[in-house]
Amino acid sequence: MFGRRPDATEVTGLSTMRRFMPYVSPRRNDSLFYMVQEIEVEAALEFLEKKNQHRPPDRPITLFHLFLRSCSQALYLRPGVNRFVKGGKLWQRKDELLSFSALKEIRDGSLMLMIKRRFHPTIIHVSISLWLIAVFFLVFFPNIAPTIATAKRARFAPSDAWMSSLFWLKENTPEPFNNPDFYYELHKLPFQYPESAYGVMAWWDYGYWITRIAHRIPVVNPSQQAEMQNKVGNFFTSQDEDSANEIVQELGSSYIIIDFDTATGKFWAIVLWAGKEGAEFFDVYLKPQENNRYRAVQLFHPEYYRALASRLYIFDGKAVTPDSSTVIFYELKSDKEGTLYKVINSEKQFDSYEEAEAYLSSQESGNYQIVGNDPFVSPVPLEALKHHRLAYSSSGTSGTPGGGRVPSVKIFEYVD
């Protein structure tokens, strides 16, 4: 009341743009931001395991506890993200508050509780804070800056890597209608495409960008034509070049654009639209640890590396000879609810793929699988692609699991 709040103070001295934003997005849903981010937590899990050895078995510190504390520390260290809009004004919260839902009991029909927890980075909590902050800086703090950078980006807007790639496509590929002004003209339906027209193969997310910025014809776009998305999905998951070429020729594509997300984070969606099972390409396994504990690991199957998306984006269409190959033996188990999961009983590393294949062939029964733990390091040999030439790589890069950097977007030309 009267311009004051008990839980926050008004932020003053803002730029004109900042003062204007509450009127652009006045409602809460207008200001929501969703993002997906993968965070390596192996060090955190190992840390928690050591700490829990000295705690009562029924009161372990979990990854969720660590996550909550780390979030509170992020808000404390970065107060600029601990703000909200109300009444056309920007407010700075006075406390580090986190809300989450929790079941009162782990059973069907249990009461759902809404918990709002205040965290105090004071001396009162120093005994537990010191080691949590240590893990926070080791595990979560490095991810804060990328998260803030992502949050500052305009929603659904192409990155710099995508912009440069789309401009390159516009300036360095043939005009599909032999006239650069064709894009700006009105045309009557039905429309007859000229012989010079060709398509650009990319995942449907990027279709409108290709049309609007590159002035080229995407094979699919966010209008989500199921039949076309199925074909594009089958192209990217094709296990041999001949099958992929048939789809390219059917769709009349001359160029393929593929980015880091298509080959990694979005690959599950491509598999789904192709009508295939994700477990064919990768799966989550439980790896035994000390004290009868397990660690969940995602492992990649040969089909993932043989998929055309991987052969194009990760390996640039070049031949690959693996330095080594790993074979795991796993057991299929189920929990009380009947949910199946795979537990690794043993794993063997071989100096060559041929040795790994020979070992598999010698097994009369059991669940054996050649796997890789890094999507950018193939455990199986790959032949060079004959009809796909790398034409452009963006200067903007993305980080790989091994700590390297790769171009975020790549464009390939289909050569018949």
Q: Are 233 and 274 in contact (CB under 8 A)?
A: yes
Where the chain has pLDDT below 50, the residues are 1, 122-131
Q: Are 330 and 342 in contact (CB under 8 A)?
A: yes
Beta bridge partners of 350: 325
pLDDT tens across 139-187, in order? 566 666 666 666 655 666 899 999 999 999 999 999 999 999 999 988 8
Considering the domain architecture, whether residues 41 and 28 belong to the same structural domain is answered as yes
* Per-residue pLDDT at 294: 86
Considering the domain architecture, whether residues 146 and 23 belong to the same structural domain is answered as yes
* Per-residue pLDDT at 42: 78
Q: Is residue 227 part of a domain?
A: yes
Q: How many domains does the chain have?
A: 2
Considering the domain architecture, whether residues 112 and 165 belong to the same structural domain is answered as no
Tokens for 102, please give them: 């929790």
Q: Are 382 and 353 in contact (CB under 8 A)?
A: no
- Among 119, 152, 185, where does a domain finish? 152
Q: Which residues contact 79 (CB under 8 A, 6 or more apart)?
A: 92
Considering the domain architecture, whether residues 246 and 111 belong to the same structural domain is answered as no
Q: Are 184 and 216 in contact (CB under 8 A)?
A: no
Considering the domain architecture, whether residues 209 and 188 belong to the same structural domain is answered as yes
* Per-residue pLDDT at 93: 86
Considering the domain architecture, whether residues 161 and 80 belong to the same structural domain is answered as no
Q: Are 338 and 349 in contact (CB under 8 A)?
A: no
3-state secondary structure at position 274: coil
Q: Is residue 1 part of a domain?
A: no
Parent domain of 397? 157-416
Using alpha carbons, list the distances in angstroms from residue 260 to 96, 207, 236, 266.
35, 16, 13, 9
Q: Which residues contact 167 (CB under 8 A, 6 or more apart)?
A: 213, 214
- Among 152, 174, 193, where does a domain finish? 152
* Per-residue pLDDT at 244: 97
Considering the domain architecture, whether residues 137 and 215 belong to the same structural domain is answered as no
Name the one residue in this structure whose structure tokens are 């040969």: 302
Q: Is residue 3 part of a domain?
A: no
Q: Is residue 161 part of a domain?
A: yes
Distance CA 109, CA 409 (A): 47
* Per-residue pLDDT at 148: 64
Considering the domain architecture, whether residues 148 and 161 belong to the same structural domain is answered as no
What is the β-pairing status of strands 253-259 and 199-201? parallel
Q: Is residue 2 part of a domain?
A: no
C-beta atoms surrounding 244 within 10 Å: 26
Cis before 218 (ω within 30): no
* Per-residue pLDDT at 338: 79
- Rg (alpha carbons) of the chain, rounded to whole number: 26
Considering the domain architecture, whether residues 125 and 214 belong to the same structural domain is answered as no
Q: Is residue 19 part of a domain?
A: yes
* Per-residue pLDDT at 125: 43
Considering the domain architecture, whether residues 165 and 252 belong to the same structural domain is answered as yes
CA angle (241 as vertex; 237, 243 as ends), nearest 5: 70
- Among 128, 152, 176, where does a domain finish? 152
Q: Is residue 42 part of a domain?
A: yes
pLDDT tens across 313-364, in order? 999 999 999 999 999 999 998 877 778 889 999 999 999 999 999 999 999 8
Distance CA 389, CA 413 (A): 5
Distance CA 150, CA 137 (A): 20
Looking up residue 225, the CATH number of its domain turns out to be 3.40.50.12610
Helices of type H across 99-217: 126-135, 141-152, 160-172, 207-212
Nearest Cα to 304, choosing from 213, 190, 380, 193? 380
Q: Which residues contact 50 (CB under 8 A, 6 or more apart)?
A: none
Considering the domain architecture, whether residues 86 and 209 belong to the same structural domain is answered as no
Considering the domain architecture, whether residues 110 and 229 belong to the same structural domain is answered as no
Distance CA 316, CA 308 (A): 10
CA angle (309 as vertex; 322, 273 as ends), nearest 5: 135
